[in-house]
Structure 1
């Protein structure tokens, strides 16, 4: 769901994902790309790509943090050798 929001309303998708600075940057990027996109149409896709990549990176970071916390709390998996 957050990916659809990030694709169609990039700044709003980033805000709902907890990335306010990225949302502000994406809003500025959106304005610039809308103005220049009148001449060069592929630029219209850049804000959506930025939002999708930023959402994915944030989710990867959260998943990594959860795994690290689980290892700290419960120890390494069985059979893990150092």
Structure 2
């Protein structure tokens, strides 16, 4: 659901994902791309792509932290040896 919101309303999607600085950057990017997107239409997709990529990276980082915390709390998985 957050991906759809990030694609349709990029700054709001980033804010709700806990990325306020990326949301501000995305808002500036939207203004820039709206001005130059009238000539180069591909630029209109850049803010949405930035938001979706930023959300994906943040979710991956959260998932990684959860796995590391679980390993710290419960130990290494069975059958794992170095």
Q: How many residues align?
A: 82
Q: CA RMSD in A?
A: 0.3
Matched, 1:23 2:19: no
Flag as ranges the 4+ runs of structure 1 deviating above 2 A: none
Q: By how many angstroms is 1:21 displaced?
A: 0.2
Extract unaligned runs of 5+ from structure 1.
none
Alignment TM-score, normalising by the size of structure 1: 0.99
For normalisation by structure 2, the TM-score amounts to: 0.99
Counterpart for residue 65 of structure 1:
65
Q: Which blocks of at least 5 consecutive residues in structure 2 are unaligned?
A: none
